[in-house]
Amino acid sequence: MSTEVLPGEDVALVDLLDRLLGGGVVLAGDITLAVADIDLVYVGLRALISSVATAERQGVRLP
Amino acid sequence: MIYLYAITEADAAVPDCRGLEDAELRLAPAREVAGLYSTHRSLEVRPQPEALWRHDQVVEAAMAAGPALPARFGTTFAAGDALTSALEREHDRLRDQLERVRGCVELAVRVGLAERAAIEPAPEGGREYVERKLARRRRQQALARETLSPLGEVAVRARHEEGRSEDEVIRASYLVRADEVDRFSERVTLLAERNPQLWLSCTGPWPPYSFAGFEEAA
Same domain assignment for residues B19 and B119: no
Range of the domain at A37: 8-57
The number of angstroms, rounded, from the C-alpha of B152 to the middle of its chain's C-alpha atoms is 16
Same domain assignment for residues B26 and B92: yes
Same domain assignment for residues B117 and B27: no
The model's pLDDT over B143-173, given as tens digits with 9 standing for 90+, comes to 899 999 999 999 999 999 888 777 789 999 9
Contacts of B83 in chain A (CB under 8 A): 27, 29
CA distance B87 to B95: 10
Contacts of B206 in chain A (CB under 8 A): 15-16, 19
CA distance B44 to B51: 11
Quote the number of domains for chain A: 1
Q: Of B7, B47, B165, which has the smallest distance from its Cβ to A37's Cβ?
A: B47
Contacts of B201 in chain A (CB under 8 A): 4-6, 11, 15
CA distance B206 to B196: 26
CB contact under 8 A, B71 and A23: no
Same domain assignment for residues B54 and B136: no
Contacts of B62 in chain A (CB under 8 A): none
Residue B21 has a pLDDT of: 95
| pLDDT above 90: residue B14 | yes
Q: Does A3 touch chain B (CB under 8 A)?
A: yes
Residue A2 has a pLDDT of: 35
Question: Does residue A3 lie within any of the structural domains?
Answer: no
Helices (H) and strands (E) in chain B, counts: 5, 9
Mean pLDDT score of chain B? 90
Confirm if B207 and B56 have CB atoms less than 8 A apart: yes
Contacts of B164 in chain A (CB under 8 A): 42
Q: What is the CATH number of the domain that holds B189?
A: 3.30.70.100
- DSSP per position, B39-107: E-SS------HHHHHHHHHHHHHHHTTS-EEEBPTTEEESSHHHHHHHHHHTHHHHHHHHHHHTTEEEE
Give the best residue of A27, A35, A49, A57 to mutate against chain B (max B CB count within 10 A).
Answer: A27
CB contact under 8 A, B72 and A13: no
Is the ipTM reported for this complex over the cut 0.85? Answer: no
Question: Does residue A63 lie within any of the structural domains?
Answer: no
AA identity, residue B78: A
Question: Does residue A37 lie within any of the structural domains?
Answer: yes
Same domain assignment for residues B57 and B143: no
| Conformational region of residue A18, where left means phi above 0, alpha means psi within -120 to 50, and beta covers everything else | alpha
CA distance B66 to A56: 41
Domain end (from B76, B101, B126): B101
| pLDDT above 50: residue B39 | yes
Residue B17 has a pLDDT of: 95
Q: Of A5, A25, A26, which has the smallest distance from its Cβ to B199's Cβ?
A: A5
Question: Does residue A16 lie within any of the structural domains?
Answer: yes
Which of B33, B30, B28 lies closest to B9, judged by CA?
A: B33
CB contact under 8 A, B73 and A37: no
Same domain assignment for residues B116 and B179: yes
Question: Does residue A62 lie within any of the structural domains?
Answer: no
Range of the domain at B16: 2-101
Residues in chain A: 63
Q: How many CB contacts within 8 angstroms connect chain A with chain B?
A: 132
CB contact under 8 A, A27 and B108: no
| Mean pLDDT, residues B186-204 | 90
Same domain assignment for residues B115 and B95: no
The number of angstroms, rounded, from the C-alpha of B40 to the middle of its chain's C-alpha atoms is 26
| Mean pLDDT, residues B8-25 | 96
Contacts of B4 in chain A (CB under 8 A): 27, 29
| CA nearest to B45 within chain A | A32
Same domain assignment for residues B111 and B62: no
Same domain assignment for residues B144 and B196: yes
The model's pLDDT over B71-130, given as tens digits with 9 standing for 90+, comes to 999 999 999 899 999 999 999 999 999 999 999 999 999 998 876 666 667 777 888 888
Confirm if B43 and B37 have CB atoms less than 8 A apart: no
Of the CA atoms within 13 Å of residue B58, those in its CB half-sphere come to 32
Residue B55 has a pLDDT of: 95
Residues in chain B: 218
Buried b (16+ CB within 10 A) or exposed e, B135-173: eeeeebbebbbebbeebeebbbbbbbeebeeeebbbbbb
**Residue B112 main-chain phi, psi, to 5 deg:** -145, 180
Same domain assignment for residues B141 and B200: yes
The model's pLDDT over A11-44, given as tens digits with 9 standing for 90+, comes to 788 888 889 888 899 887 666 665 556 665 665 5
Give the best residue of B4, B48, B73 to mutate against chain A (max A CB count within 10 A).
Answer: B73
Of the CA atoms within 13 Å of residue A3, those in its CB half-sphere come to 9
CB contact under 8 A, A19 and B108: yes
